[in-house]
Amino acid sequence: MSEFLQAMDKVIVWYNDYIGGYAILFLLVPTGLYFIIRLKFLNVTKLFHSIRIVAGKYSHEEDEGDVNHFKALTTALSATVGTGNIVGVALAIYLGGPGALFWMWVTGFLGMILKFSECTLSHKYRVFNSDGSVSGGPMYYIRDGIGKIYHAPVFAKVLAIIFAVATILASLGTGNMAQVNGMTDALHTTYGFTDWITGLVITGLVLLIIVGGLKRIADVTARLVPFMAVTYVLATLLVLFDMYENIPHAFAMIFRGAFTGTAATGGFVGSTIMMTMIWGVRRGLFSNEAGQGSAPIAHAAAKTEYSVREGLVASLEPLVDTLIICTMTGLMLITTDAWHSGIKGVGMTIMAMDQGLAKLGLVDIGKHIITWGLMMFAFSTVISWSYYGSRAANYLLGEKAIKPYYYLYGLFVFFGSVWGIDLVWHFVDMVITFMTIPNLIALLLLSGVLIKETNGYFAMMKERKMR
């Protein structure tokens, strides 16, 4: 079995290095720039309007849907705020140097407009199931949007199926194994827990929650996400306040490394500028999932009459996830010099937090904050991604496929706890491309619909103010 996994890992690495990594880099960034220009930097100019929507200013209980704006946001955020913020940033800097953080920022900034675009379309093309629940996502706007507008039902159907299959694979990898792998790694590093026992416990807890569907998932994430985000952010801020003298130098390293690469020093592997860009974009995409097409599945269920409103809510996710939380993690790794340690994965972040808090007299507390912060981050991601995968299974095979999918999902929770970190993350990078490429193609093809929808909404809002 070990030889088989090694052979499979080599094939996946070859795909990621020579096909997937470049495809994402040269498709995601130009697509984001295209929408930024066409939508006139809407992610910046309408930021406060987005916040007011989340706060409930425009909410109406009678609107059709499963959850309100806030719960749709926390469900999607719980799927993105996970190991990418703690382990993913450490891996990006380990492999690409401090400059990788700059390219994570680029991905996050462009991700705001991509999230707006895909979630607006997802809400517009959503469908209602026989039980009254909502299904949505790229597979629906591919099928019902591209298929009808371009009179290409066969092409649209094939592209939608590719995306749906990729979503199931990504749910097992991105939202499942990578998260569980990070959890078991942290528990083993901090407490010496055995991986397979941890895997069994997590599997049982996940199955207990996900069988309740989106409403139960949303109730859990609405409580977990704010609590875990505040705890982790406050602990990281304590470290950064103490290391404030190193922050200007850290920013200088980030900007310099983004365009020059970074030479190998200590345990660091060294990087070229292309490696820095690719790892920054990869880990940025893994962190905020913008353009990947996953978050639209959750946002389609939001209660609102206007699809653009839900798109604006979704645009906040990369801001919180990448531009704030990932930046804080990256600065902590650089200012504490933990990035030179040669430690790969969560161990680097634990070391940074431990060292930073120890200087404040809080000895041996950092590792517990990282471990339990990661546990909550990752667990909420696992349960949210089960919903994404179940919607894809429902699209492909109908409602009868949802329960078997949940059991398969539980099995992969266990796999994630016992497989090696390299294989898990290589698999994750591969399946992300299978979702992202079809979704970005669909966004470009449906850009006319999106722009018309957006202009119509803001014209309506302007008219209401003038009355």
Give dist(CA 47, CA 52) in Å, integer.
Answer: 9
Give dist(CA 14, CA 80) in Å, integer.
Answer: 26
Q: What is the mean pLDDT of the chain?
A: 82
Query: 7: Cβ–Cβ under 8 A, 6 or more apart, which residues?
Result: none
pLDDT at 205: 81
Residue 314 and residue 295 in contact, taking contact as beta carbons nearer than 8 Å: yes
Range 462-466 average pLDDT: 74
pLDDT at 450: 95
Give dist(CA 112, CA 107) in Å, integer.
Answer: 9
Q: How many other CB atoms are found less than 10 A from the CB of residue 133?
A: 16
Give dist(CA 243, CA 237) in Å, integer.
Answer: 10
Give 234: exposed, middle or buried? Use CB within 10 Å, 0-12, 13-18, 19+: exposed
Query: What CATH code is carried by the domain that includes residue 151?
Result: 1.20.1740
Q: What amino acid is encoded at 188 in this protein?
A: H
pLDDT at 82: 63
Range 350-354 average pLDDT: 87
Q: What is the pLDDT of residues 253-306, one digit of tens each?
A: 999 888 876 654 544 555 566 667 776 776 676 667 778 888 888 888 888 888
Range 147-153 average pLDDT: 90
* Domain count along the chain: 1
Q: What is the pLDDT of residues 169-190, one digit of tens each?
A: 888 887 788 888 878 887 887 8
- Which of helix, strand or coil describes residue 420? coil
Q: What is the pLDDT of residues 109-138, one digit of tens each?
A: 988 999 999 999 999 999 887 777 788 899
pLDDT at 81: 66
Q: How many other CB atoms are found less than 10 A from the CB of residue 10?
A: 11
Query: 94: Cβ–Cβ under 8 A, 6 or more apart, which residues?
Result: 268, 269, 339, 344, 345, 348
In percent, the amount of the chain with pLDDT more than 90 equals: 25
Return the higher-pLDDT residue of 201 and 225: 201
Alpha-helix residue ranges (DSSP H) falling in 173-212: 178-191, 195-210
Token reading at 260: 């020059």
Closest of 50, 213, 55 to residue 120, by C-alpha: 50
Using alpha carbons only, give the angle 223, 224, 225 rounded to the nearest 5 degrees.
Answer: 100
Residue 138 and residue 392 in contact, taking contact as beta carbons nearer than 8 Å: no
Compute CA distances 376 → 151, 186, 434, whole Å: 46, 12, 27
- Which of helix, strand or coil describes residue 67? strand
Q: What is the pLDDT of residues 388-431, one digit of tens each?
A: 898 899 899 988 898 899 999 988 888 888 776 677 778 878 88
Would you give the DSSP letter of residue 338?
Answer: G
What's the predicted TM-score (pTM) here? 0.82
Return the higher-pLDDT residue of 276 and 200: 200
Give dist(CA 20, CA 42) in Å, integer.
Answer: 29
Alpha-helix residue ranges (DSSP H) falling in 144-288: 147-149, 153-172, 178-191, 195-210, 213-242, 247-260, 273-288
pLDDT band at 237 (very low <50, low <70, confident <90, very high): very high
pLDDT at 420: 66
Tell me the residue range of the domain where 134 lies: 2-466
